[in-house]
Structure 1
C-alpha cells in the first residue's frame, strides 16, 4: 500500500516536470488607470458631489457679491464671528468683496472659531482639499480653528490625487512645503468604543466656497 502511494506521488511529479515550467502570469498594464471613470464627466461637479459625500459643505459663488452673501449666510447660521485670514491676496479679495475678517493673531488662541484659507488643489475623486504650509496661513489656520472655510477656484480642480501631487511638484519643485495635508471632510474619529466624534484632531466643520475664476470681472 505504501509503495503504491509512493509510486502515485512520483508519477504525478514526473508528469508535472514533463509539462515544463508553469506559464508566467500576465504582465500588468501599469499605464492603465487604477480607478474607473468619475461619476460625472465635469470634474467640478464630481468634486462637489464627493466633497459633500465626505461631510463638507459646498457653496458655489459666481461673483464677489455672491461670495459675500454666502459667507454672511454661513456665519449667521453658525453664529460665529469674522474669520481669521492671514494671506495677503485673500485679504485683498475679501476687502473688495466687503467681507469682514480678522487679519492679525490678536486673541487667536481664545477666539479661533473660524478661519478662511486658500488651498493648493481640489481632488474630484475623493472630495479632498489639498492645503500646505507654503501660504501665510501656515499650519495653524487649517488645523486649529473649530471651523475651516476654504476659498478656491474651479481651475484648481483635478481628477485624481496623483494629479494634485504633480501640481505641487510643478509649483514648488524640490522645495516642497514642510506640511502638505489632504483633507477629506471634517476631522473625525471613532477610536473610542466606535463612537463617531467630530473635531477630534482638527476642525469639526469644513466648508468650501468655489468662486468663479473670472468673478472679479463679473457684473455686480
Structure 2
C-alpha cells in the first residue's frame, strides 16, 4: 500500500502537462480586413454605438450633416477649425466659432488625424484647432474626415502621425472608439459619462 507521500508524488506526476507549444511569432497579430477600409471602419464603430456616414461627395456630406444637426440650435453647433468653417459657410450650415467658456456647446464639429478601420477608432490630437476640448466637452462630437485619412491598423496610424510631426509629437494623442460610456455604477451602461454621449463620423 502506497504511503501518503507516494500518493502525493503520484498525483503531482500525473498532473504535469506536456511541454507547452511555442507561440508562432511570425503569425499576424491582427485579423485581416476583408472589406474596404471604409466599410470595416463603419461596422466596427457602429458596433460600439457610433454613427458613420460614408459619403460620395461634398453635397452628400452636407445633406448628412444637416440631418445630424437638425435638432441642434445653430448657436450651439461650434467649430474651431478654419478649413471646416469654410466648408460649413460655403454650404450654408449655420454654426459659430469656438470661444472658450463663453457659451454652451451642444455639438462640436472637428476634423481628426486618422481613422483606424480595424477598431473603428478616431485618432485626434491636441494639434488640431480647438485643442483637447472640442472632442471631449460637447455632448455630441461630429467628425468630418477625408477618405485618405483611413488606415488599416493602429500601428499604421502611429507611423503616419510620427511622419506628420517629425520634430515633435503633439502633447496629446487620443483614440476615440465610440461615445463615452461606463458601467461602473451598478453595472448599468451609461452613455456620455465622461465625454460625448454621441459620436458621428462623416467621411467623404
**Would you say 1:81 and 2:87 are equivalent positions?**
no
Q: 1:207 to 1:27 in 2, by over 3 A?
A: closer
Larger Rg, first or second structure (1 or 2) = 1
**Would you say 1:168 and 2:153 are equivalent positions?**
no
8 Å contact 1:67–1:97 — kept in the other structure?
no
Structure 1, unaligned runs of 5 or more: 10-21, 212-220
Count residues in correspondence: 192
What CA distance in whole angstroms lies between the structure 1 residues aligned with 2:173 and 2:166?
14
Residue 145 of structure 2 aligns with which residue?
152
Residue 182 of structure 1 aligns with which residue?
175
- Superposed CA RMSD in Å reads 2.4
What CA distance in whole angstroms lies between the structure 2 residues aligned with 1:25 and 1:185?
37
Give how far 1:185 is off: 0.4
Structure 2, unaligned runs of 5 or more: 10-17
8 Å contact 2:108–2:134 — kept in the other structure?
yes
2:46 counterpart SS class: helix
Using the size of structure 2 for normalisation, the TM-score is: 0.84
2:40 counterpart SS class: helix
8 Å contact 2:135–2:141 — kept in the other structure?
yes
Give how far 1:27 is off: 6.6
Residues 35-80 of structure 1 show CA distances to partners (whole Å, capped at 9, x for unaligned) of 2212x3311111111111111111122222222211111122xx21
2:155 counterpart SS class: helix
Residues 83-115 of structure 1 show CA distances to partners (whole Å, capped at 9, x for unaligned) of 211111111122222222211317x56421101
What CA distance in whole angstroms lies between the structure 1 residues aligned with 2:190 and 2:102?
22
What CA distance in whole angstroms lies between the structure 1 residues aligned with 2:54 and 2:81?
21
